[in-house]
Amino acid sequence: MTAIGLRREIDRFEARTPRSRELQKEAVRWLPGGSSRGVHHEPNPVFVDYGEGHYFYDADGNRYLDFILNATSLIMGHANPIVVEAIAEQAGRGTGFVGPNETAVRLARMLCERVPSLDKVRFVNSGTEATLNAIRAARAFTGRHKIAKFAGAYHGSHEYVSVSVKPPAGPHGPDGPPAAAEFHGQPPSLLDDVIVLPWNDLEVCERILRRNADGLACVIIEPIASTLGYAPARPGFLEGIRALTTDLDVLLVFDEVQTLRMSPGGAQEMLGVVPDLTAMGKMVGGGLPAGAFGGRDDIMALFDPRGGAAIPHAGTFNANPMTMAAGEATLKHMTPDVYGRLNALGEMIRGKLRAVFDELEVPAQITGIASFFSIHFNAEEIVDHGSASRDDAELKRALSLGLLNEGIMLGSTICTLTTESEVDELVDTTRRVIQRVRE
Ligand SMILES: Cc1ncc(COP(=O)(O)O)c(C=O)c1O
CATH number of 82-333: 3.40.640.10
Q: Please, what sign has the CA dihedral across residues 10, 13, 15, 18?
A: negative
pTM of the model: 0.98
Q: For residues 249-254, give the mean pLDDT.
A: 98
Q: Is the peptide bond before 100 cis (omega within 30 degrees of 0)?
A: no
Phi, psi (rounded to 5 degrees) for 301: -60, -20
Rounded (to 5) percent helix, strand, coil in the chain: 45, 15, 35
- Specify the higher pLDDT residue, 310 or 175: 310
- Please give the pLDDT value at position 416: 98
CA gap 155, 153 in Å, rounded: 7
Architecture of domain 2-75+335-438: Alpha-Beta Complex (3.90)
Q: Which of 129, 132, 155 has most ligand 1 atoms within 8 Å of CB, for mutation? A: 155
Give the end-to-end CA distance of the chain in Å, rounded to a whole number.
7
Q: Does residue 154 have an active-site annotation?
A: yes
Per this entry, what is the length of the chain? 439
Render pLDDT for 68-115 as a digit per residue (tens, 0 to 9). 999 999 999 999 999 999 999 999 999 999 999 999 999 999 999 999
Q: Does residue 282 have an active-site annotation?
A: yes
Phi, psi (rounded to 5 degrees) for 294: -170, 180
Distance from residue 127's CA to the centre of ligand 1 (Å): 5
Domain with CATH 3.40.640.10 in the chain: 82-333
pLDDT band at 51 (very low <50, low <70, confident <90, very high): very high
Annotated active-site residue in 255, 276, 339, 352: 255
Residue 171 has pLDDT above 80, yes or no: no
- Please give the pLDDT value at position 436: 95
CB of 2 within 8 A of CB of 438? yes
Q: Which of 74, 75, 154 has most ligand 1 atoms within 8 Å of CB, for mutation? A: 154
CA gap 148, 205 in Å, rounded: 10
- Please give the pLDDT value at position 1: 58
Render pLDDT for 274-328 as a digit per residue (tens, 0 to 9). 999 999 999 999 999 999 999 999 999 999 999 899 999 999 999 999 999 999 9
CA gap 97, 113 in Å, rounded: 26
Residue nearest atom 13 in ligand 1 by C-alpha distance: 156
Distance from residue 234's CA to the centre of ligand 1 (Å): 23
| For the CA of 226, the nearest atom of ligand 1 | 1
Q: Does residue 201 have an active-site annotation?
A: no
Report strand pairing: 146-150 vs 194-197: parallel
Phi, psi (rounded to 5 degrees) for 277: -135, 150
Residue nearest atom 7 in ligand 1 by C-alpha distance: 127
Cα angle 418-422-424, degrees, rounded to a multiple of 5: 135
Tell me the three-class secondary structure of 216-284, residue by residue. Answer: EEEEEECCCEHHHCCECCCCCHHHHHHHHHHHHCCEEEEECCCHHHHCCCHHHHHHCCCCCEEEEEHHH
Domain with CATH 3.90.1150.10 in the chain: 2-75+335-438
Residue nearest atom 5 in ligand 1 by C-alpha distance: 156
